Amino acid sequence: DAGVIQSPRHEVTEMGQEVTLRCKPISGHNSLFWYRQTMMRGLELLIYFNNNVPIDDSGMPEDRFSAKMPNASFSTLKIQPSEPRDSAVYFCASSYGSSNTEAFFGQGTRLTVV
């Protein structure tokens, strides 16, 4: 298996623009997580899906952020409008089971909002 695949790897956008990050989890995994990593705040959970259903979105910073998982093999994280403070590395991770055992991370998307 190719592992968790994220795209794009790097994204530079202007403030106010819409940004869409994409994730393909490992086949057979039923849990998917979006995390954001910054120097100041470390690795923070944004949202967690189980069987394509959002279970915990308490980490989503504000209404500018939204996430979808239309099927078991694809998820998106959208920021609209983007702001410079959204600059971070966004990781998608997936696991099998509901207790987040052995979550596997994608390579991340480095987002820079200028």
Partner 1 sequence: QKEVEQNSGPLSVPEGAIASLNCTYSDRGSQSFFWYRQYSGKSPELIMFIYSNGDKEDGRFTAQLNKASQYVSLLIRDSQPSDSATYLCAVTVTGRRALTFGSGTRLQVQP
Q: At 24, which helix (H) or strand (E)? A: strand 19-24
CB of 17 to partner 1, least distance (A): 25
User: Counting contacts by CB under 8 A, is residue 45 touching partner 1?
Assistant: yes
CB of 16 to partner 1, least distance (A): 28
CB of 66 to partner 1, least distance (A): 18
User: Counting contacts by CB under 8 A, is residue 104 touching partner 1?
Assistant: yes
User: Counting contacts by CB under 8 A, is residue 103 touching partner 1?
Assistant: yes
User: Counting contacts by CB under 8 A, is residue 33 touching partner 1?
Assistant: yes
CB of 73 to partner 1, least distance (A): 19
In the chain, the N- to C-terminal Cα span, in Å, equals: 36
User: Counting contacts by CB under 8 A, is residue 10 touching partner 1?
Assistant: no
Total residues binding partner 1 (CB under 8 A)? 24
Nearest to 77 by CA among 29, 34, 107: 34
Task: Give me the residue label for tokens 């994204």.
Answer: 11
Task: Give the other-Cβ count within 10 Å of 90's Cβ.
Answer: 22
Task: Give me the residue label for tokens 């509901």.
Answer: 98
Task: Determine contact, residues 93/104, Cβ cutoff 8 Å.
Answer: yes
Structure tokens at 77: 């994280």
**Footprint of partner 1 (CB under 8 A):** 31, 33, 35, 42-45, 48, 50, 55-56, 58, 91, 98-108
